[in-house]
Amino acid sequence: MKLRIATRRSHLALVQTRWVGTQLQRHFPELNFEEVGVKTRGDKIQDRPLALVGGKGLFVSEVEAVVVRGEADFAVHSLKDVPGDVPLAQGMGILSVPIREDPRDVLVTVDGTDLDSLRRGAKVGTTSRRRVVQLQRQRPDLSFVPLRGNIETRIRKLHEGQCDAIVLAAAGLARTGVLAETPHVVLPTDLCLPAVGQGALAIEGAIADETLSTQLKTIEDPTARIQITAERAMLQKLEGNCHSSIAGHASAGNGRLQLEAMVASYDGDQMLCATSDMYLDLSSPDAIKLAHRLGEDVADHLLSQGAHDLIEQAGLAAVQNQLTSN
């Protein structure tokens, strides 16, 4: 039996897709897979920040459309690229969330220098406002510069001297097998809270396809599902968009689920934080519902502090910044 998997064509996306296929074959040795590669608009546009051309949803919508048209059976996405403010296509759902990689960010340099040891005024490459607003609190003297491209391109630009350091997701480096050989320092969550869903994969397919759902559930990780449910519930309640500096990190263990979240202004001068936790039995039939409630509760804490205004103002500031730079 052959299943067709829709995926972006980047090296990381293909690695992730092939990993999913390998995991499924452990349960269903008779399965074979065909990759349906998609070069998305987000992959084609490399000269502008994603937030100004449609956000990370550009990486998802065109891959999703291939499944909707029946040209593939399911799609593999990086979950952090799945928008919180735009629903999936009608009839589609996240059918499986496999085991999650390390959700944290890492600072990559040519020699493993940490954030505090970077020279004054050093150039740090990242297009993420979330990363910029958090790191500049620790090092306001640093110069943060836009950096697009895949992992290999960004590391090459670092070695070419275009930046003194770059910030990447630990998960991407781990999955592509270059984490161990790349000088880096892991950024703790109390310094740089990760993006919602970072480190997790989302396998999207038709909800009505019961056979596919059953197959994909075999590689579902309950802990990862609980974590991303809480994080995405928070994001959705905040109505965050691609211009927002929003972070969220859920951790589960010892019968507890904790969610930390952050919302900041575009320039980072204002930053709101909220944390909450609860007792949670992952095997409980109400676990997903309770995780969702925790996410909404944390969002309510942020909204009560003025998060809505910060999110709205961030969108306006991003547009104004682009008009000024042009």
The residue-averaged pLDDT of 256-285 equals 95
Report the alpha-carbon distance of residue 263 to residue 301 in Å, rounded. Answer: 11
Token pair 């042009």 is at which residue?
326
In the prediction, which pLDDT does 99 show? 98
In the prediction, which pLDDT does 250 show? 98
* pLDDT band, very low/low/confident/very high, at 243 (cuts 50, 70, 90): confident
- C-alpha atoms less than 13 angstroms from C-alpha of 235 in its C-beta half-sphere: 30
In the prediction, which pLDDT does 107 show? 98
Tell me the pLDDT of the chain averaged across its residues: 92
- Joined together, the tokens standing for residue 106 give 């890492």
**pLDDT tens-place string over residues 206-217:** 999 999 999 999
Look at 287 and 148; give whichever has higher pLDDT.
287
In the prediction, which pLDDT does 253 show? 87
Is 1 in contact with 30 (CB distance < 8 Å)? yes
* pLDDT band, very low/low/confident/very high, at 20 (cuts 50, 70, 90): very high
Sheet of 271-279: strand order equals: 245-253, 256-264, 271-279
Report the alpha-carbon distance of residue 324 to residue 326 in Å, rounded. Answer: 5
Domains in the chain, ordered, with CATH? 1-98+200-220 (3.40.190.10), 105-186 (3.40.190.10), 221-326 (3.30.160.40)
* pLDDT band, very low/low/confident/very high, at 151 (cuts 50, 70, 90): very high
**pLDDT tens-place string over residues 24-40:** 999 999 999 999 999 77
Is 203 in contact with 214 (CB distance < 8 Å)? no
In the prediction, which pLDDT does 136 show? 96
Active-site choice (43, 47, 73, 81): 81
Report the alpha-carbon distance of residue 228 to residue 225 in Å, rounded. Answer: 5
**pLDDT tens-place string over residues 86-97:** 889 999 999 999
In the prediction, which pLDDT does 74 show? 98
Is 168 in contact with 105 (CB distance < 8 Å)? yes
In the prediction, which pLDDT does 83 show? 87
| Residue 267 falls in the annotated catalytic set | no
**pLDDT tens-place string over residues 38-88:** 977 655 555 455 554 545 557 798 999 999 999 999 999 999 999 887 889
The residue-averaged pLDDT of 196-204 equals 98
Taking 80 as the threshold, does the pLDDT of residue 231 lie above it? Answer: yes
Report the alpha-carbon distance of residue 220 to residue 226 in Å, rounded. Answer: 11
Query: Exposure of 26 by Cβ count < 10 A (0-12 exposed, 13-18 middle, 19+ buried)?
Result: exposed
In the prediction, which pLDDT does 325 show? 57
Distances (CA, A) of 286 to 50, 151, 176, 217, 290: 37, 39, 36, 18, 6
DSSP labels for 255-269?
A: TEEEEEEEEE-TTSS
Percentage of residues of the chain with pLDDT beyond 70? 92
Distances (CA, A) of 201 to 11, 221, 273: 15, 11, 26
Is 57 in contact with 242 (CB distance < 8 Å)? yes
The residue-averaged pLDDT of 138-153 equals 93
* pLDDT band, very low/low/confident/very high, at 282 (cuts 50, 70, 90): confident
Report the alpha-carbon distance of residue 297 to residue 226 in Å, rounded. Answer: 15
